[in-house]
Amino acid sequence: MDVVKCRVFKLDAFTNQAFKGNPAAVVLDCPELDAEIMLAIAGELNLSETAFVWPEKKGFRVRFFTPGDEIPLCGHATVATFYLLWRLGMAKEGMNKMISKVGELDILIKDKKVWLKQLPPKIIGELNIEELKSILGVKELVGPALAMTTGTPEGIVGIRTFNELMNIKPNMETLAEFSKENGIIGVYVYTLDSKFDAAGRFFAPAVGVPEDPVTGTASGILAGYFFF
């Protein structure tokens, strides 16, 4: 096998403190490798998402991998990627373009912050809330339980209290099967019982991520969920 040299960075998104937020890996200066090799690299780095980046005339083409699969879009890895590109002088202050599996997306860099414009939220279908109760190990959930997307298909359902949210202990094997059967990468459980607008946890064992610390695409879906 030929030796390929790449630069690999680890960044924490959604925070201004080291070792906080949601970590992502960003890989630069690689040729476009086989998907199996990129998946193996993501597995070796063992973060919830790894972004592979290639500069193009229109902007930057990015592919996202969890340790278990390629996914169409990842919010926090996008933030990490474009903050890094800006710090390295590769991306500009203002509007930038990302070419991803879901198409071209606008990325705004302003005042040292990165803003991602996700796709309009879309309902894919309804999920079996009784089955989810059993999988998540809870007595009650707040419906409807929906499969939605703003670029990456995910499930969403509510729970009444913050304490109940923190005590969820999903059956990961069953949740992975449920997710694959319903065409989603995982399930986001939210509550409005929070000092913020909402609190949530995202479980995605179907793509090798038992729990993601913060999920940008799920936050976009949550806004769309309440809009609908």
CA 200 to CA 114: how far, in whole Å? 22
Alpha-helical segments (H) within 20-171 = 35-45, 75-87, 129-136, 162-166
pTM score, whole prediction: 0.94
Residue range 192-227, pLDDT digits in tens:
999 999 999 999 999 999 999 888 999 999 999 999
Report DSSP state, residue 30. Answer: -
User: Mapping DSSP to helix (H, G, I), strand (E, B) and coil, where does residue 207 land?
Assistant: helix
CA 142 to CA 133: how far, in whole Å? 10
Residue range 56-77, pLDDT digits in tens:
999 999 999 999 999 999 999 9
**For the residues of 133-162, what is the DSSP string, one character each?**
HHHHT-S--EEEEEEEESSSEEEEEE-S-H
Q: Which residues are catalytic?
A: 49
